[in-house]
Amino acid sequence: MTSTESLIDRRQLSYIAAQAADARLNVELETEGMTLNIGPQHPATHGTLRIIARLDGEQVVWAEPSCGYMHRGYEKLTEVRTYPQVTALVNRIDWLGSFANEVPFILAAEKLMEIEAPPRAQWIRTILFELSRIANVSLFLGDLGVQMGAITPVFMAFRDREYVLNLIEGATGGRFHPNFDRIGGLKDDLPAGFIDETRVVMKKLRNFCDEMENLLFGNEIFQSRTRGIGVIPKDVAMQYGLSGANLRASGVDWDLRRDQTLPMAWNKVDWKVWTHPDGDSYARCWVRLQEVRESTRIVDQLLDDIPSGPVMAKVPRIIKVPEGEAWVSTENPLGEMGYYVVSKGDLGPFRTKIRSASFNNISIVPWVLKGVYVPDIITILASLYFILGDIDR
Amino acid sequence: MNAALLAADLPYWAQALLRVLGGVVAVLLPAGTIVYVFLFKMMSFMQSRLGPMEAGPYGSMQLFAEVGKWLQKEDITPERADRFIFKIAPLVVLVSTFLLVAVVPFGPDAWFTNFEAGVFYMLAVSSVSVLGILIAGWASANKYSLLGGLRAAGQLIAYELPMVLAVIGVIIQAGTMNLQDIVLAQNAGSMFGWDGLGNPYILTQFVGFIIFMIAVQAELTQTPFDMPIAESELVSGYMTEYSGFRFLTFFIAEFATAGVFSLIASVLFLGGWGIPFAWFGWDTMDSVDNWMNVVGPLIMVTKMMLLSFIIMWVRFSYPRFREDQLQRFAWKVLVPVSLVNIMITAILKVAF
C-alpha cells in the first residue's frame, strides 16, 4: 500500500517537475525553442568557428562550439618537414602573433640538442615575442569595440598595430609571418635604428592604451555590456584548462613568463602580472589592456640593456636532433602554447603535439554561454579572444 | 501672402506634381548629403582614414557609384520567403519617411501640407516604419532577420513613448500642434518676459530636447540603439536577406529618416526656418516677408546638418546597448524624466 502510494507520489512529483521545467521555458504561450547556427560564416567568429545555440527567445539554453572548419593538419605536416622548415608552418597557427609561435618550438628543439642561444639572441627573441603580443592584443582591443557596435576603435587599433608590424618587418622581413627564429639563435641581428624607433613606437602604444581606456573601457555602455557578463569563477577556469589572460582575469596568478625558467630574457626585467578578481568579460578585456602596457614596459627595459655579441650559437650545418622527447610551453598572446616534440634522431621531428591556447579556451564556451542572451554571446566570445588558426591548427 | 512659391494660380494637378517633386527632393537630398558628408567623410576622418577619394573630387560622386553598383546587383528573394510581403517591406519603410516630410515647414509658405494636428500626425506616421521592419524581418524566413525584426519592433514601440512625451512639453509651451505655429511661437515669443533671443524651445525644453534626440537615435536604430541591425551579431538583422535595389531602399530610408527627424527636431526645438535672434518683429505668419521662403529652407538645411552631425557622431563612437538594457533605459529613465518634464512645464505655463 505504502509502496504504490509512494510510486504514485513519485510519478506525480516527476510530472510536476517536468511541468515546472516546461513552464519555465514556455511561460504563457506554447512556444518552442529555436536552434541558431552562429557561423561558420559569421562576422563575430572572426574565422570559421560555428556555434550551435539552442535558444529560448533570446536566451541560450544550450550552446556548443563546432570547430575544425579550418583544420590544416600542421601536426602531421611537421613529420615530413625538417626542423628549420617547421617554423614556417607554425607561424600560421596564431597568425596575429606569429613570432610567438616559433619560439616554443625552437626552444624545444634546442632543449633536445642541449644548446642555448647566445644572450643577445635571447634578448631579441624576447623583444620580438613581446612585439608580436602587442600587435596581437592591440588588435583584440579594437575588435572588441566592433563586436559591440563601436566602429571607431578598430581603426585606431589597426593604425597603431601598423607601427608594431613595421618594426617586426624591419627586423625580420615579414610583417605577418617572420619565420625568423633559428635553432641556436636568430637569422639576423637587429637592423640599424631599430632601438630608437622601437622606443618611439612603444610610447605611441602606451598612448593608444590610454586612448582605448578613455574611448572604450570608460564608456558606460561598454561597462554595462561586459561587467557581470560571462563570469567564469576561479575553479571552473582551472578545470577547463583556460590559460593566459582568460585565466588571470579569473583571479589566478599564473604566467608562464614568470613561473618558468626558459632561456629568455623575461626574468631579467621588472614587470608585473596583472590579475582581476571578477572573471567577467570586462576583467578579461582589462587584463589584456594592462598586458599591452606591461609588454611595452618589458620591451623598453630590454632595449636599455641589450647585450652585445653574436646572435647565433655554433650549430652544425645540417641539423639533426638527438633522440628524445621535450615539452616547452610559453605564455603566448592567447595563452599557454606548447610543443611536445618527439625526435628519433632524424632531420625532422617524429611527432609533434601542439597545445594551442584557443582550443582549450573555447572548451569553456558551452559552460559560459548557458543562460546568456544572444547579444552577450558575441561579447563573451570576443572577450575570450580566440583565433581560428589557433583552434584548428 | 498665399501667392508665394507654390502659386495658388496653378491648377490642382500642377500643384500636386510640384509637391511630389519637392517631397522627393526634400527626402533624397538630405539623405545623399548625410551619407556623403557624415557616413563617408566624417566617419573616415574619425577613424584616421580618407574615405572615398576616387569617384569625383574628394569622392563626392561616390554615392552615385554606389547606387549604380546596387542597381546592377541581382534581386534575390529567399526561396521560403513570403514573396509579396518581402518585396513591399522596404517600400513601407520608405513611405513612412515621405509621409513624415509632408508636414515639415520650410518657410512661411514653403510647406507641403499645413494642418492643425501636425505634431500628432508626425508622431503617428513615424511608427509606420515599424510595420515595414517587422514584416521585413518576418518575411525573410531567416532566423537572424526574425530576431532583428522582433528586436526592432520592441525597441521602436518602446521609444515611441518618450518621443511623444518629450514633444508634449513643446505642445504645452506653444499651445498648438501646428508646426508652423510652433515655429512662429519660438521666433516671436519671449522667455519669461525677455524677448532678446525669442524663445527657442531648446533652452526652455532642454530636457525634452535631449529625450527627443535619444528617442530619435533609437527610432533610427543607430548606435547605441542598433541592436536590431547589429552587424557583428545579427548581420544587419531584418536587412540580411535584401540585396540590390531593395537594400538600397532600406539604406535610403535609414538616412532620409535621419534627415527628416533632424528637420522635425529643428522645427520643434531650434526655431524651424527662422533664426530666433534674427527675427524682424513679424507677429503673424502673414506678415513674414516673402524672401524667407528662400532663406528658410537654407536655414532648415543648416540646422538639419547640425543635428544629423550629433546623431552620426554618437553613432560612430558608441558601443551598443543590449536589448533588455535599452528597454530598461526607455521605461525606467526616459519615460519618468519626460513625465516630470511635462509636469514642470505645465506648472510654469500656468504660473507665467
**Range among A57-61, A211-215, B109-113 rated most confident:** A211-215
- Asked whether the predicted pLDDT for residue B224 surpasses 50, the reply is yes
Whether the bond between B224 and the residue before it is cis, its omega within 30 degrees of 0, is: yes
Mind telling me how many Å the CA of A194 is from chain B's nearest CA?
25
Instruction: Name the grid cell of A360.
Output: 582549450
Q: Do A373 and B325 touch (CB under 8 A)?
A: no
Residue A256 Cα distances to A169, A386, A389, angstroms: 27, 19, 22
Mean pLDDT, residues B164-181 taken together: 87
Indicate the pLDDT class of residue B340, thresholds 50, 70 and 90: very high
Mind telling me how many Å the CA of A373 is from chain B's nearest CA?
9
Residue A63 lies in a domain: no
- Asked whether the predicted pLDDT for residue B2 surpasses 50, the reply is no
* pLDDT recorded at residue B204: 81
* pLDDT recorded at residue A32: 65
Segment A298-333, tens digit of pLDDT: 998 988 888 888 888 888 888 888 888 999 989 888
- Asked whether the predicted pLDDT for residue A266 surpasses 50, the reply is yes
Cβ-Cβ contacts under 8 Å, B43 against chain A: 151
* pLDDT recorded at residue B29: 84
**Measured between alpha carbons, how far is B256 from B39 in angstroms, rounded to an integer?**
13
Q: What is the largest CA-CA distance in chain B?
A: 66
Residue A6 lies in a domain: no
Give the domain extent around A285: 72-389
Residue A33 lies in a domain: no
The DSSP element (H or E) to which A205 belongs, if any, is: helix A194-212
Segment B71-88, tens digit of pLDDT: 898 888 888 888 888 888
Residue A60 lies in a domain: no
CB count in 10 Å sphere of residue B79: 7
What sign has the CA pseudo-torsion A310, A314, A320, A323?
Answer: negative
Indicate the pLDDT class of residue B337, thresholds 50, 70 and 90: very high
Is A156 within 8 Å of chain B by CB? yes
Residue A243 lies in a domain: yes
Query: Can you give the CATH number for the domain in which A277 is found?
Result: 1.10.645.10
Residue A41 lies in a domain: no
Residue A31 lies in a domain: no
**Measured between alpha carbons, how far is A174 from A147 in angstroms, rounded to an integer?**
29
Indicate the pLDDT class of residue A28, thresholds 50, 70 and 90: low
Of residues A77 and B228, the one with the higher pLDDT is A77
Indicate the pLDDT class of residue A9, thresholds 50, 70 and 90: low
**Strand order from edge to edge, sheet including A335-343:** A324-332, A335-343, A351-355
Cβ-Cβ contacts under 8 Å, A216 against chain B: 319
Substitution target from A37, A54, A152 for chain B, most B beta carbons within 10 A: A152
* pLDDT recorded at residue A29: 58
- Asked whether the predicted pLDDT for residue A112 surpasses 80, the reply is yes
Count how many Cα atoms sit within 13 Å of the Cα of residue A357 in the half-sphere of its side chain: 25
Own/partner long-range contacts of B152-157 (Cβ < 8 Å, ≥24 apart): B152/B221, B152/B228, B152/B237, B152/B238, B154/B323, B154/B327, B155/B218, B155/B221, B155/B225, B155/B227, B155/B228, B155/B323, B155/B326, B155/B327, B156/B127, B156/B129, B156/B130, B156/B218, B156/B219, B156/B221, B157/B127, B157/B130
Q: Domain total for chain A?
A: 1
Task: Give the residue on B whose Cα is nearest the Cα of A149.
Answer: B319
Residue A38 lies in a domain: no
Tallying the residues shown for chain B, one arrives at 352
Is A238 within 8 Å of chain B by CB? no
Residue A24 Cα distances to A29, A230, A235, B151, angstroms: 11, 22, 29, 22
Inter-chain CB pairs, A–B, below 8 Å: 81
Segment B185-211, tens digit of pLDDT: 888 777 766 766 777 888 888 888 999
Q: Which pTM value belongs to this model?
A: 0.80
Contact B280, B190 (CB under 8 A): no
Nearest Cα residue to B300 out of B96, B64, B33: B33
Is A230 within 8 Å of chain B by CB? no
Contact A97, A133 (CB under 8 A): yes
The DSSP element (H or E) to which B24 belongs, if any, is: helix B12-34
- Asked whether the predicted pLDDT for residue A17 surpasses 80, the reply is no
Indicate the pLDDT class of residue B14, thresholds 50, 70 and 90: confident
